[in-house]
Structure 1
């Protein structure tokens, strides 16, 4: 496999992978913006972990379907960066304040920053964390998917 095919993929799977990651991020954004009590309290970490799991699953799918390593990295990056940017942005748009006895929109910060300060912090930290997750876990998920592809091709040849 050439390096171009490894990075960019061999068919439309890379576009589908990034499209599925964008749809997952949009669905998670709707869940965060809604003022539904389970999402505000106990389920917020499940939504975030689920989104990262979807991103890593899409990276593995890109490896399995020869979709390209960049698509796998992009899916993992988008899912991880979403956690740091979209919830504070939603809180800022809704007009949440620190002293209201809790945020209407869950955000990743463990300290009581204002929504604007948390958004600015997320814009600084989020891409760095997302890049680390994409390059490490995204690469591992892609390699796992590519390994499944090789295994299935060998079993068909035997």
Structure 2
């Protein structure tokens, strides 16, 4: 299960809407071993494409050096789909190189890029196998734990 705070979930959705019609992408880092996404890092889609995303290799190298210096790891790797459901494509599955990460997809299709609910889903992708997981949205993290909220992930 992915536990994510409301502000970070909303920031991912806002990024997806802002970059529409191109796919948005980014990472949410957290302390190594914590499984808590705490540092939101929106990235530039170097492909600038509505059907494909690609992290800029220089930006990605810089990010991994920062995470290493901060004892962090990628807890969430996210991107948006602009015309299809929030489910990993064959390309997404082939490029999934972080077996410990949650892969979050947001769909901004059918006007969701403007307003209203979006499809926000999380997956584990290990060795080409995709497993959808529950998303628990919390108000905030307190001492490495979560505080429940009434608001659930939008579907």
One fold, TM greater than 0.5? no
Which structure would you say has the larger RCO, counting Cα contacts within 8 Å and 6 or more residues apart? 1
Structure with the bigger percentage of strand? 2
**Length-normalised TM-score, structure 2:** 0.27
Higher Rg: 1
